[in-house]
Amino acid sequence: MTEDLKSSAQEFLVRYGGDQFPELFTSAKGSIVVDVKGREILDFTSGQMCATIGHNHPAILTALEEAGEKAVHMFSGMIPEVVVKLAEKLSSWLPSPLKKSLFVSTGGESNEAALRMAKMFTGGYEVIALGGSWHGTGAGASAVSYASDRRGYGPSMPGTYVIPEPNAYRCPIEHCRDVCDQTCLKVGMNMFDMASRGEGAAIIAEPILSAGGVIVPPQDYFKTLKAEAHRREMVLVYDEAQTAFGRIGVPFGAEYFDSVPDIMTVSKTLGGGVPLAAVITTDTIEANVHEKGFTFYTSHVADPLPAAVGLAVLATIEIENLVLKASEKGAYLRARLEDLQQKYEAIGDVRGAGLLLGVELVKDRESREPDHELGAVTTRRCFELGLSMNIRRRPERGAVWRIAPPLTVKESEIDQGVDVLDRALGESQIKLKKNMVRGMSIL
């Protein structure tokens, strides 16, 4: 049966760009994913960075069962009670003046809604994003996603601009080294002003650029970015798909950087593995765009089932004190990774916040030339040894492991994962040296 299903996968499924694994998978619980052969794999990616409170948390299963007894879906114009409860609960988490929420299915959708809202509010259409950003695959979101996957799909949405990301380790304008002085922001905004038609709408940014290599901007970067946006009568949008609800050791990136945006989107970490996202804004912006006729109808806007799960996720984070645990366990994981950095010259940088960490691989620490081959080979070896790792490889920017286990990860699982990484990295270096002698490449 298993071999038949593997053949069916090849015959009937569209290959959508995900990593290709040798086996199919059957189940997941906590920090562990199980394949068809019964092999347990420690998940250092929280699924697609979504399983914040662990795979198949009992609170999520209970919420799904209870929602199934009441309502899974309703007409989009009908507002279920549970959706109002989620909006009310979410408002208690949010930094003021953010308050009003619209619930959709995915982060890409929430960013599309945020950009529509920004354009209607400002009357402009120009949108700025950071290099290395990732906001989704819809027309608007993909146009302002610069981490990867831009080629082969035709023209992007008009009026989209990129500014250099504040990457102190690998400065995109080759100005800084290790300490970003925000010259990249000044240069980027000057370039935008030269190209702009005077129709500015929004600047959209991830507080920590995850797909771009877990880039953590300087502490005052977003205060400056917000001032630059407002000076041009644009709004600032935070895409907090991966930074919201405690992953970085505080509730939101807005709090980590002490700068509240005009519009915030949340997604992955709200649904805990169930498709749920939201765009959140202020009373002022919501009233303005409503008067102008703002719409964002989808088949699954304000659905009751995912809303029930969202309530369960937020309650679990509070009950299990997972924001504090993310800070504590993140510090422990980072210390273990920094120990590896002392052992391996190939680890050029360890960075991030809480349980969203990046480990950058280089051929040598002085030149900082990315070691993409070592990253690919070690990632494969980690999986063979029972550890799921996500490598971000951008030819012009670096090879970075994006490490984000569930907030419920045990300290023993952190030790297990780092020990596997240690072994895999050591073995991969030996393998590559042998192949280099033979004149081979295994990428």
Cβ-in-10-Å burial (0-12, 13-18, 19+) of 1 comes to exposed
> Do 236 and 382 fall within a single domain?
no
- Strand 32-35 to 40-43 pairing: antiparallel
| CA separation for the pair 59, 308 (Å, rounded) | 10
93 is catalytic: no
Q: Is the pLDDT of residue 18 over 90?
A: no
Domain final residue, candidates 298, 319, 340:
319
Catalytic member of 109, 206, 286, 373:
206
**Residue at which a domain ends, from 284, 319, 354:** 319
pLDDT score at 395? 63
pLDDT in tens, 356-374: 999 999 999 999 999 999 9
Q: Supply 343's token pair.
A: 């052992």
Q: Which pLDDT score is estimated for 125?
A: 98
Q: Give domain status of residue 62, yes or no.
A: yes
Q: Is 369 one of the catalytic residues?
A: no
Given a cut of 70, is residue 45 above it in pLDDT? yes
Active-site pick, 170, 232, 242, 247? 242
Find the catalytic residue in 100, 170, 247, 268.
268
With a pLDDT cut of 70, the percent of the chain lying above it is: 98
User: Could you tell me the CATH number of the domain that includes residue 372?
Assistant: 3.90.1150.10
pLDDT at residue 436, rounded to an integer? 75
First vs last Cα of the chain: how many Å apart? 32
Type and span of the H or E element at 425: helix 411-438
Q: Is residue 331 located within the same domain as residue 348?
A: yes
The β-bridge relationship of strands 398-403 and 126-130 is unpaired
Answer whether residue 400 is part of any domain.
yes
- The question of whether 429 is a catalytic residue gets the answer no
Mean pLDDT over 63-71 rounds to 96
Rounded Cα distance between 276 and 268, Å, is 7
Element (H, E) at 416: helix 411-438
Distance CA(210)–CA(403), nearest Å, equals 10
Predicted confidence (pLDDT) at residue 443 exceeds the cutoff of 70: no
Look at residue 34 and tell me whether its pLDDT is greater than 60: yes
User: What average pLDDT does this structure show over 226-244?
Assistant: 98
Does residue 416 have an active-site annotation? no
CA dist., res. 62 & res. 51, Å (int): 16
92/238 same-domain check: yes
Considering the domain architecture, whether residues 41 and 78 belong to the same structural domain is answered as no
Determine the pLDDT at residue 410. Answer: 97
Same domain, 326 and 314: no
Q: What is the pLDDT of residues 395-433, one digit of tens each?
A: 667 799 999 999 999 999 999 999 999 999 999 999 998
Residue with tokens 């354009």: 119
Domain shared by 310 and 382, yes or no: no
Residue 237 and residue 101 in one domain: yes
Residue after which a domain boundary falls, among 319, 352, 375:
319
Name the pairing type of β-strands 126-130 and 160-163.
Answer: parallel
- Give me the sheet containing 347-353, strands edge to edge: 347-353, 356-361, 398-403, 390-394
- Mean pLDDT of all residues in 309-332: 98
Name which residue leads in pLDDT, 437 or 272.
Answer: 272
Catalytic residue, from 134, 170, 371, 413: name it: 134
Would residue 14 count as lying in a domain?
Answer: yes
User: Can you give the CATH number for the domain in which 210 is found?
Assistant: 3.40.640.10
Residue 437 pLDDT level (bands cut at 50, 70, 90): confident
Query: Is 91 a domain residue?
Result: yes
Say if 443 falls within a structural domain: no
CA–CA separation, 12 vs 31, rounded Å? 30
Q: Pick the catalytic residue: 351, 381, 402, 413?
A: 402
Q: Could you give the number of structural domains in the chain?
A: 2
pLDDT for 43: 97
Q: Name the pLDDT band for 392 (thresholds 50, 70, 90).
A: confident
Same domain (yes/no): 169, 192: yes
pLDDT, tens digit, 9 for 90 and up, residues 132-146: 999 999 999 999 999
Is the per-residue pLDDT at 441 higher than 70?
no
Clarify whether residues 304 and 341 are in a common domain.
no
Q: What is the pLDDT of residues 189-233, one digit of tens each?
A: 999 999 999 999 999 999 999 999 999 999 999 999 999 999 999
Q: Are residues 278 and 326 in the same domain?
A: no
For the question of residue 134 being annotated catalytic, the response is yes
73 is a domain residue: yes
Domain that holds residue 67: 58-319
Residue found by looking up tokens 């662990």 in the block: 54
pLDDT at 1 over 70: no
Q: pLDDT at position 398, please? A: 79
Looking at 239, 240, 286, 360, which residue is catalytic?
239
Instruction: State the pLDDT confidence band at 6, using cuts at 50, 70 and 90.
Output: confident
Which tens digit of pLDDT belongs to each residue from 95-132? 999 999 999 999 999 999 999 999 999 999 999 999 99
Three-state SS at 268: helix
Active site residue 283: no
- Whether residue 192 sits in one domain with residue 241: yes
- Per DSSP, the chain holds a count of helices (H) and strands (E) of 15, 15
Residues 238 and 277 in one domain: yes
